[in-house]
């Protein structure tokens, strides 16, 4: 009589586990174990691998998700309730991939912002094992791939220069605002003569059209500024008077009947 192989039933059915992942999205190893009927840890890991599960790179790999449940960003990162997963696996492997495939390398601060976790230890490990190199730029390390170190570094310098050029109008506008604020503060604490001479000096610094320009900034009459400028240029500055003798409102005569 022919012998028929006896099919052993699957002891740990994963259907319930897949359903739980579709609902919860993320499970702990303990939760997975309970759903499988509390097998050994080795069996749990084997079942998770068969389902293409991914361990979190945050929280010491405590959480798991199915790859099909993860909505990865173009960088291969998926975050769920402050739990972070990568299609490249561990934090070390993820950083290695990101740096290697970057056109201009990655600053530690850029990696920390992208991955939402501390990256210092992982970067130190990659640098110590010579899987990454680094260069100090603007007070922090830029991490580079050993295979294209020079190209990435050159591209980073190009980006820095481009950013400086694009930021220059904003920087100049910010500086102009600061100058105007300080100028107005100073004017509020000067007497009439000091104010006139100070604005005349600023007009001289500007050059042609300075009187109108300073008047526009401060709101002071252009004639007052021009007068201060002429006094400075002619050295016609009186040290002991605010106004020239005889200028200003005449003194009121005292009424003898008072």
What is the tens place of the pLDDT at every residue in 91-134? 999 999 999 999 999 999 999 999 999 999 999 999 999 999 99
- Tell me the C-alpha distance between 234 and 89, whole Å: 77
Provide the β-strand partners of residue 27: 64
Q: Looking at residues 7-24, what average pLDDT do you find?
A: 78
Question: 90-155: which CATH topology?
Answer: Arc Repressor Mutant, subunit A (1.10.10)
Query: How confident is the model at residue 250, as a pLDDT?
Result: 53
- The DSSP-derived string for 6-69 is PPPPPSS--HHHHHHHHHHS-EEHHHHHHHHTS--HHHHHHHHHHTTEEE-SSGGG-EEEEGGG
Average pLDDT, the chain: 84
Query: How confident is the model at residue 82, as a pLDDT?
Result: 94
Does 185 have pLDDT greater than 80?
no
* pTM of structure: 0.61
Task: Give percent above pLDDT 90 in the chain.
Answer: 49
Does 84 have pLDDT greater than 90?
yes
């Amino acid at each position: 009589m022919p012998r028929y192989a006896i099919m052993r039933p699957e002891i740990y059915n994963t259907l319930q586990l897949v359903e739980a992942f579709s609902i919860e999205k993320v499970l702990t190893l303990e939760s997975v174990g309970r759903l499988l009927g509390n097998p050994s840890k080795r069996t749990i890991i084997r079942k998770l691998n068969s389902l293409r599960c991914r361990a979190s790179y945050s929280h010491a790999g405590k959480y798991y998700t199915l790859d099909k449940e993860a909505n990865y960003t173009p960088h291969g990162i998926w975050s769920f309730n402050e739990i972070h997963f990568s299609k490249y696996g561990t934090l070390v492997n993820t950083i290695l991939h990101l740096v290697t495939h970057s056109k201009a390398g990655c600053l530690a601060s850029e990696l920390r912002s992208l991955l939402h976790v501390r990256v210092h230890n992982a970067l130190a490990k990659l640098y110590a094992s010579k899987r990454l190199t680094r260069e100090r730029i603007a007070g922090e390390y830029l991490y580079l791939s050993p295979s294209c170190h020079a190209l990435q570094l050159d591209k980073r310098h190009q980006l820095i220069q481009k950013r400086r050029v694009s930021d220059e109008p904003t920087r100049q506008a910010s500086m102009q605002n600061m100058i105007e604020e300080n100028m107005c503060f100073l004017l509020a604490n000067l007497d009439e003569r000091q104010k006139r001479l100070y604005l005349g000096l600023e007009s001289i610094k500007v050059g042609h059209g300075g009187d109108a320009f300073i008047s526009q900034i401060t709101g002071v009459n252009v004639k007052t500024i021009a007068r201060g400028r002429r006094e400075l240029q002619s050295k016609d500055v009186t040290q002991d008077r605010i106004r020239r003798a005889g200028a200003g409102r005449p003194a009121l005569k005292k009424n003898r009947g008072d």
